[in-house]
Structure 1
Amino acid sequence: MSPDDYDRLYAEARERPAFSNGTEGYGWMAANCDRCIHDKSARQGNDAQGCPLVLITLMGRTPAQFLDGPRDEEGRYGIADQYVCTEFRSEDDPDPEPRPIPTPPGQGELWPREPFEGRRMLTPLEPAAEGVTPC
Structure 2
Amino acid sequence: MSPDDYERLYAESHDRPAFSNGDEGYGWMAANCDRCIHDKPARQGNDGQGCPLVLLTLVGRTPAQFLDGPRDEQGRYGITNQYVCTDFRGEDDPDPNPRPIPTPPGQGELVPRELFEGHRMLTPLPEPAAIGGDVR
- What TM-score comes out, normalization by structure 2 length? 0.82
Contact map agreement 2:5 2:52 (CA 8 A) in 1:
yes
Aligned to 2:108: 109
Shift of 1:9: 1.1
Aligned to 2:16: 16
Aligned to 1:99: 99
Task: Spell out structure 1 runs of 4+ moving beyond 4 A.
Answer: 111-114, 132-135
Q: 1:104 to 1:12 in 2, by over 3 A?
A: closer
Which runs of structure 2 are paired with 1:48-87 in the superposition (5 Å)?
Answer: 48-87=48-87
Aligned to 1:5: 5
List alignment gaps of at least 5 residues for structure 2. Answer: none
Shift of 1:101: 2.4
- What TM-score comes out, normalization by structure 1 length? 0.82
List alignment gaps of at least 5 residues for structure 1. Answer: none
Shift of 1:10: 1.4
Contact map agreement 2:69 2:81 (CA 8 A) in 1:
yes
Contact map agreement 1:18 1:62 (CA 8 A) in 2:
yes
Amino acid at match of 2:107: G
Q: 1:13 to 1:120 in 2, by over 3 A?
A: closer
Q: In percent, how many aligned pairs have the same letter?
A: 71
Contact map agreement 1:100 1:117 (CA 8 A) in 2:
no
CA RMSD of aligned residues (A): 2.4
Shift of 1:119: 1.9
Q: 1:23 to 1:101 in 2, by over 3 A?
A: same
